[in-house]
Amino acid sequence: MLEKKHVTVFVTGGIAVYKAADLVRKFIKAGAEVRVAMTESATQFVQPLTFQILSRNEVYTNTFDEKEPENVSHIHLADWTELAVIVPATANIIGKMANGIADDMVSTTLMATTAPRLIVPAMNQNMLENPATQANLVKLEGYGYTIMEPDTGFLAEGYEGKGRMPEPEKIVEAAHQLVLSRAVDLPLENKNIIISAGGTIERIDPVRYITNDSSGKMGHRLAEAARDLGANVTLVTASKLEHPFGMNVVPVQSAREMQSAIMDKFETADIVIMAAAVSDYRPKTQADKKMKKAHQDIQILLEENPDILATMGQQKTHQFLIGFAAETNDVEMYAKDKLKRKNADMVVANDVSKEHAGFNKDTNEVIIYQPDQEPIHINTNTKAEIAKEILYTAMNSIKL
Ligand code: C5P
């Protein structure tokens, strides 16, 4: 949802300016294009250069510093902006925005933009509770702007109170929700999608386990793509990758934990995508203390894990089930067999022996198999693009 979005971060002068630098980084990581405008007092806390390097764009600080003769810079920035994030928002900028004052780069641009605004107040508790600030916030809410609740915690003044800037992750989440609420074309809106990712971990003892080479990248990219199409996503992940924003993430380790997390949500799911590499076996017993060297051969007896996809295949009522087949040979034969045996509606097959496909890579190349349909080949592309293709193919089959 934030992919390629034009986000302008308006930084005003509070001690939390340093946290805004991390926020810019997080927006960039989420795929947004970021520009930064700072008030004079914000530049007293952190140099514009920091924001310039992080956003890879020149920072706007002065309304009269017209860099391009063909553009009026604050109007140009206002028109470019698709989401305005005011962070940290001081009592001063809140007062200006609420009362139509435009006297510097930040306030004139905010006056001129028509983009949705996310205001993140951060200030001393008494300033926040001042009736003027409270009245201004009510006014801004009335204008349709989104205001984030400040956190309570240790303030710069050295005591506990309300007024802390929320952590950057929470702000990215709020920005995503705001963009989502304004989006017009969300083909997966109100659809519940469960996606599993990563290689499960089957413990031998507290420090050792059996796992496989799956990184979880394909599953995480699928979850992000489904989120951006408006779905309610539950990502059940055994991967060590960073948790994506804008979805319900359930971290798990073993196949049985994964199964229980998935089955909890199965009844209300519309689509389930099993991108996880589920371990077929687990140690029959798990030592509760670290096993000691025995100076002789030891045997670890393995017992079979539940087949999560096959179980869902037996129980499904309306759910569209997508499985994955990571193979090193006879891809078509194994994929078609899985489709039947697990009663799945789609199997996405890849040849993990290929250079650009499979475990741990950022790219993939897949063939989509569906009952009674010709296979669909999707050429080598990033996992994010492949994820979109898989979802569009599924939506086409479900007739969404
Ligand atoms: O059985 P196999 O591993 O070949 O099938 C792969 C597909 O089945 C994947 O979608 C995988 O997530 C799923 N699977 C499962 N439970 C297992 C093994 C695999 O859901 N125990």
Instruction: Give residues (CB < 6 A) around ligand 1.
Output: 255, 274, 276, 278, 280, 305, 307-309, 323-325, 338
- Is the pLDDT assigned to residue 288 strictly greater than 80? yes
**What structural domains and CATH numbers belong to the chain?**
6-182 (3.40.50.1950), 192-397 (3.40.50.10300)
pLDDT in tens, 102-111: 999 999 999 9
pLDDT of residue 277 exceeding 90, the answer is yes
- C-alpha 376/C-alpha 223 separation (Å) is 21
Q: Smallest Cα–Cα separation from 331: which of 295, 291, 366, 380?
A: 366
For the CA of 312, the nearest atom of ligand 1: 20
Report field, pTM of the whole predicted structure over 0.85? yes
To test ligand 1's pocket by mutation, which of 200, 309, 337, 359 has the most ligand atoms within 8 angstroms of CB?
309
Tens of pLDDT, residues 37-54: 999 999 999 999 999 999
Residues annotated as catalytic are 212
Residue in 147, 82, 74 with CA at minimum distance from that of residue 116:
82
The whole-number average pLDDT for the span 325-348 is 94
Dist. CA 108–CA 78, nearest whole Å: 9
What is residue 328's predicted lDDT score, i.e. its pLDDT? 86
pLDDT tens-digit series, residues 118-143:
999 999 999 999 999 999 999 999 99
pLDDT tens digits for range 174-205: 999 999 999 888 999 999 999 999 999 999 99
What count of other Cβ atoms lies within 10 Å of the Cβ of residue 145?
19
Compute, in angstroms, the gap from residue 368 CA to the centroid of ligand 1. 16
pLDDT tens sequence across 294-303 = 899 999 999 9
